[in-house]
Amino acid sequence: MTDSLPAPSVGEPVEPGRQETPTGSAGEGLSTISRATYVREAVLRNLFLVCACVAVAGVALIFLFVGWRGYPIFAKVGIGAFLGGGVWHPTQGDFGILTLIVNSLLATVGALVLGAPLAVGTAVFLSEVAGPRVRELVRPAVELLAGIPSVVYGFFGLVLLRPIVAKVFGGLGFGLFTVWVILAVMIVPTIAAISEDALRSVPDGIREASYAMGATKWQTIWRVLLPAAKIGIIDAIILGMGRAIGETMAVVMVAGNAPVIPNGIFAPFLTLTTVIVMDMPYAAGDHRTALFGVAIVLFIISMIFVASIRLVSRLGREVG
């Protein structure tokens, strides 16, 4: 086979396996690159295309599968009754997930209220305050937070945090408060990393201009840098929201999983994600379909998040 093909240009380091790829003569018009280089480039280009296609196909397949398995529940109980019903007791035929939606939002909003200032503060510290040596210490620590498996957060919450909460505030220690604390720590790395990028991308000229006007460091951060980076910071917070609402393992261990809207922040509650992990092992029939329905709702919520990030970015471009 190889004999019949024109030999590659002399002097090009060519991997032996590459030169026998029989492609057309598309590369012959270019005298500056060899045939082998051209082929290699084409192969790599298509490889990246395949990678991108796999990601897109993955999302599409999951959405189709979840939709296919879940949509019968909308037909069976009706979209209004499914999304608007307050009673989740699937083994007795009550498939209302409003309680779970509300609980998921309560958990997410609380985590953001606690976690976002912490994360943006960390980003400001890393980008504006810390010296290079401190930064080299703090940044890996924050990045490490992102690498801890969520089940470890959950275990930490169950074994260490929950008994403390129970001792200080009474009750069992399961509930919104415990979940908020755990989720707040979990979303810090996401929000901090992207916010730091946003702050760093503010040109130094702006900082210098601010100092030149006689502004203090605090005034520069608060009045100049944070407003200048706000689009990136909002993006970061939305991504953090996505992480918080989708978190499952850490939440299931400290939420207490009672399918009611909690009576206070120290009472057990069940969310959209935790109901799936709690019920999937034994759910059958309509119950299982309803769990896929819950997955559809989660999918739509995360699509809304992604869409809002794009919207914010576009607004940012138009304004800036």
Partner 1 sequence: MTHRRLAAVLLVAVLAISHLTGCVGKATGAAQTELTVTGSTTILPIAEVAADMFHAQHPDLRVLVAGVGSSAGIESVVNGTSDIGTSSRDLKPEEKSLGLVDTPIAFDAIAVIVNPSNPVKSLTTSQVAQIFEGTISNWKGVGGPDLPIGLVNRDEASGTREAFSKIVLNGGAFDPKAAVLPGTGQVRSVVAVSPTAVGYISLGFVDASVKALTIDGVAPTEKSVADGSYPISRVLHFFTKGQPNPLSKRYIDFVLSDAIQQDVVRAAGFTPIKKGAK
Give the interface with partner 1 as residue ranges (CB under 8 A).
Answer: 89, 91, 158-159, 162-163, 166, 170-174, 252, 256-260, 263, 267-268, 270, 278-279, 281-282, 284-285
CB of residue 296 to partner 1, shortest distance in Å:
21
CB of 254 to partner 1, least distance (A): 10
The CB-of-172 to partner 1 minimum distance in angstroms stands at: 4
Residue 49 or 164: the one with the smaller Cβ distance to partner 1 is: 164
Min dist. Cβ of residue 168 to partner 1 (A): 13
Cβ distance to partner 1 smaller for residue 135 or 287: 287
Name 157's Cβ contacts closer than 8 Å, sequence gap at least 6. Answer: 178, 179, 181, 182, 250, 253, 254
Nearer to partner 1, 227 or 264 (CB): 264
CB atoms within 10 A of CB 244: 25
Among residues 12, 13, 39, 14, the alpha carbon closest in space to that of 24 is found at: 39
- Min dist. Cβ of residue 106 to partner 1 (A): 16
165 versus 183: smaller Cβ distance to partner 1: 165
E strands in 36-141: 88-89, 94-95
Q: How far apart are CA 2 and CA 7, in angstroms?
A: 8
- Report the alpha-carbon distance of residue 316 to residue 92 in Å, rounded: 49
Give whichever of 71 and 169 is closer to partner 1, judged by the CB atom: 169
Strands 88-89, 94-95: pairing kind: antiparallel
Q: How would you class 169 by CB atoms within 10 Å of its CB: exposed for 0-12, middle for 13-18, buried for 19 or more?
A: middle
